[in-house]
Amino acid sequence: MDKALICGSFAFDNIMVFNDQFKNHILPDKVHILNVSFLVPELRREFGGCAGNIAYNLKLLGGNPLPMGAVGTDFEHYAKWMDEKGINREHVNVVDDTFTAQAFITTDMDDNQITAFHPGAMNYSHNYSVLDVSDPAVGIVAPDGREGMIQHAREFVSAGIPFIFDPGQGLPMFDGDELMKFIEQATWLTVNDYEWQLIQERTGKSQEEISAKLKALIVTKGPEGSLIYKDGEVIQIPAAKPSVLQDPTGCGDAYRAGLLYGLTNDLDWETTGRIASLMGAIKIEHQGTQNHHFKLADFKRRFKEAFGTVF
């Protein structure tokens, strides 16, 4: 089965709920001497990171994910989870004397959030090379350490491996010229509609100018579905309807796994986009980024129910 090399981050997401409102404890006229403490009786620690999430979702579909990333010495529990799910860890590299990247997210009753992010081992992703991987069919450069993203894109080109550029939350790290370099190197670009607007503003390029440099540009629009720009045409992908709206975190990674599945199985873009759309819908029905499960036969049944076709 064709391998998909997934370059990106691994992280722990520590999610805490404060059963009150931040505004009741942060005095505007005292922010210059801010010293607050929040009691958070609810705490979840989730496996996350773009490479981890994409690999998990692609494995659910029966794909062959090969994630590459840098992790810390605290990764053992996550590693055990990956082994249980049959996800290859050959290129998941432990960096001595570091922690795995992690986010600490506190949410209040108004859905306001205070987040601290520690990149940890992610900053060492450039120490590991795409060229050390044998024969991946396709790749993806997902959010990761800045130097790692630059290097891995360059190495995909050097190795002649087609790849998706997925800037995601890493987009603010790059200026317009750097983003254009990624786009010129990439085979496909995938972004949400907000990221797409930022890219156009930062590069000064239009949709037509950017699409001309790619085999396909994929723009997701949440409940409005997604658009795939290819060869001068626009393919409209409808959104699959989730049974319940639980947690949108990680939906983009699930969608990208669907894209990789379609690319590694030589599916047309209409089918690939719909698989990606359904992956996002299934993810949003569950808390966390790697807590959903399904059998491929059930996925195909739900695909037919959602779109009236089969794959």
Separation between Cα atoms, residue 114 and residue 20, nearest integer Å: 13
- In a domain? residue 100: yes
Mean pLDDT score, 143-169: 97
Q: For residue 204, what is the domain's CATH number?
A: 3.40.1190.20
- In a domain? residue 285: yes
Q: What is the pLDDT of residues 95-113, one digit of tens each?
A: 999 999 999 989 888 878 8
| pLDDT confidence tier of residue 27, bands split at 50, 70 and 90 | confident
- In a domain? residue 203: yes
DSSP strand pairing (226-230 vs 233-237): antiparallel
- In a domain? residue 13: yes
Looking at residue 28, its pLDDT comes to 79
The secondary structure of residue 137, as a DSSP letter, is S
3-state secondary structure of 241: coil
The domain in which residue 235 lies consists of 3-24+42-297
- In a domain? residue 229: yes
Q: What is the pLDDT of residues 157-209, one digit of tens each?
A: 999 999 999 999 999 999 999 999 999 999 999 999 999 999 999 999 999 99
The secondary structure of residue 32, as a DSSP letter, is G
**Bridge partners for 65 per DSSP:** 4
Domain count, the chain: 1
Looking at residue 145, its pLDDT comes to 97
Say which of 13, 144, 166, 253 is annotated catalytic.
253
- In a domain? residue 29: no
Q: Is 268 a catalytic residue?
A: no
- In a domain? residue 302: no
Q: Which helix (H) or strand (E) holds 296?
A: helix 296-307
Q: How far is CA 239 from the centre of its chain?
A: 18
| pLDDT confidence tier of residue 254, bands split at 50, 70 and 90 | very high
- In a domain? residue 309: no
3-state secondary structure of 234: strand
Which residues are within 8 A (CB) of 230 and not within 5 positions of it... i.e. 6 or more apart?
A: 211, 215, 216, 217, 269
Which residues are within 8 A (CB) of 157 and not within 5 positions of it... i.e. 6 or more apart?
A: 185
H-state helical runs in 176-268 = 176-185, 193-203, 207-211, 251-264
Q: What is the pLDDT of residues 209-242, one digit of tens each?
A: 999 999 999 999 999 999 999 999 999 999 999 9
